[in-house]
Amino acid sequence: MLYRSDFKKYKALITDWISRYYDQIEDFPVRSQVEPGEIYGKIPAALPQKGESLEAVLKDMDEIILPGMTHWQHPNFHAYFAANSSVESLFGEMLTSAMSAQCMIWATSPAAAELEERMMEWMRDAMGIPSEWEGVIQDTASSASLVAIITAREVKTGFRSNFDGVPGNLRVYCSTETHSSVEKAMAISGLGRNNLVKIGVDSAQQMLVSELESSIKADLEGGNVPCAIVVAIGTTGTLAVDPLREIVDVARNYDLWLHIDAAYAGTALFLPEYRWMIEGIELADSFVFNPHKWLFTNFDCSAYFVKDAEILIRTFEILPEYLKTPKRGKVNDYKDWGIALGRRFRALKLWFVLRSFGLEGIQHTLRNQIEWTLDLATILKQDSSFEIVRKPFLNFFCFRLVAEGKTEDELNHLNERYLQAINASGDAYLSHTRIGPTYVIRVVVGQTYVKKHHVNNLYRILQKFKSSLI
């Protein structure tokens, strides 16, 4: 067992480990190559009786844990959405852990509450979110969307559901492409998954506003109570952007809460040329995006903004005697802005990132990634063995391998095998989705330290596995 005074003795062991990891990261297979149960089998079945040395733990870190890691910070990680980090973020996180404060109310660490307030203002103003809105850091977008739906529920039921339970006929609308966390939020909030109405999308995967409006009307006629709409700014499958401008009008006409899920694509709002995505936001009610996805800040850190913080607090406030302080009402007690009581000092790593990058550094990095993504798609487009199925938007596009004389089913199967071969090699990591019946491969160029040559290298990898397959 170590003491605080041992920190000096061991700190180099840990920081050297991290340095080595960063130096070697590009040599590791991107996706872990282990089989199910392999790591579990190497870990003793019982807690050790006697304490072990840190050296012994670190040795197992290298031998047991590392082979079972998928390297999300590898520049050839192009799967899912990026969950990027940065050196600045890591340093901020280390200091947060060093102090390990519980930042539930202002008094339990005033700096945490006030830095969080400022960081949310910095991002709000740099992203074009209305200046009267206020923000709070949540752990994940899933939690933020749950918070939005619970708040909408309370507004619609005159703040009675918190006390009396939830009526069974409150309806929420989102497109068929909306993230599964919204359906989960329906279950957890008591509204019920069957009360989530999934609206169809057009060929660009964007919500059909006419269908939204007719579903709301049908619900009203059938005695249901329309409650909220969730708009996706950047769906998880294909980064589709719902037409917010038109949807806010529907929300206002029918008096519905409008929540915007921009978990991934929200970061693009630091670039003024993408502000069109949130045109109409001043008529919406809440907005979430994840700095822990594309804003160089390690998990977890989700930024949730609301038009009316009073409503949010009224929904979540609960005040046992032991949390009453004389400063209440004059300061932000963020435990009342979400689900958990205990809260990590997440604003600190964000402060490190935002100050060290500066707005220009953020913009430069995002624009580079967007440009290289476009370059890669352009190269693939000139190659007749590839088809761009979803054209580049931000740092994302979808493609598939094509071959003459094959049916659609055969092509789906071919692309599945193609993706599996690439991922199994460890050279790069990509993921897939389906657009209608079509199996497509998604490309995301979002790791913090990805460079042009990595993207060029991805093209070589795609070529290599194509020739080994056909």
Interaction with ligand PLP in 249-268: which residues (CB under 6 A)?
261, 263-264
Q: Tell me whether the omega of the peptide bond preceding residue 375 falls within 30 degrees of 0, making it cis.
A: no
- Tell me the per-residue interface mask from 156 to 195 with ligand PLP, x by CB under 6 A, - otherwise: -----------------------x-x--------------
Q: Which of 73, 84, 142, 206 binds ligand PLP (CB under 6 A)?
A: 142
Tell the burial category of 321 from Cβ atoms under 10 Å away from its Cβ (0-12, 13-18, 19+).
exposed
Cβ atoms of 117 and 350 within 8 Å: the answer is: no
Interaction with ligand PLP in 212-241: which residues (CB under 6 A)?
232, 234-236
Cβ atoms of 224 and 253 within 8 Å: the answer is: no
Question: Which residue, 113 or 147, has its beta carbon nearer to ligand PLP?
Answer: 147
Q: Which of 28, 77, 81, 396 binds ligand PLP (CB under 6 A)?
A: 81
Which of these, 83, 58, 88, 57, lies nearest to 72 by C-alpha position? 83
Which of these, 144, 381, 120, 101, lies nearest to 286 by C-alpha position? 144
CB of 139 to ligand PLP, least distance (A): 8
Question: Which residue, 29 or 234, has its beta carbon nearer to ligand PLP?
Answer: 234
- Considering the rule CB under 6 A, would residue 141 count as an interface residue with ligand PLP? yes
Interaction with ligand PLP in 293-322: which residues (CB under 6 A)?
302
Q: How far apart are CA 428 and CA 407, in angstroms?
A: 28
Q: What percent of the residues of the chain are helix, what percent strand, and what percent coil, each to the nearest 5? A: 50, 15, 35
Question: Which residue, 183 or 387, has its beta carbon nearer to ligand PLP?
Answer: 183
Q: How far apart are CA 340 and CA 469, in angstroms?
A: 50
- Considering the rule CB under 6 A, would residue 433 count as an interface residue with ligand PLP? no
DSSP structural state of residue 46: S
Binding-site size, ligand PLP (CB under 6 A): 15
CB of 261 to ligand PLP, least distance (A): 5
Q: How far apart are CA 126 and CA 54, in angstroms?
A: 44
Question: Which residue, 167 or 243, has its beta carbon nearer to ligand PLP?
Answer: 243
Q: Which of 89, 206, 267, 290 binds ligand PLP (CB under 6 A)?
A: 290
- Tell me the per-residue interface mask from 88 to 127 with ligand PLP, x by CB under 6 A, - otherwise: ----------------------------------------
| 3-class state of residue 333 by DSSP | coil
Question: Which residue, 263 or 458, has its beta carbon nearer to ligand PLP?
Answer: 263
Residues in the chain: 470
Question: Which residue, 105 or 172, has its beta carbon nearer to ligand PLP?
Answer: 172
Question: Which residue, 232 or 281, has its beta carbon nearer to ligand PLP?
Answer: 232
Spell out the alpha helix ranges (H) of 73-207: 87-99, 110-127, 141-156, 161-164, 180-188
Q: Which residues bind ligand PLP (CB under 6 A)?
A: 81, 140-142, 179, 181, 232, 234-236, 261, 263-264, 290, 302
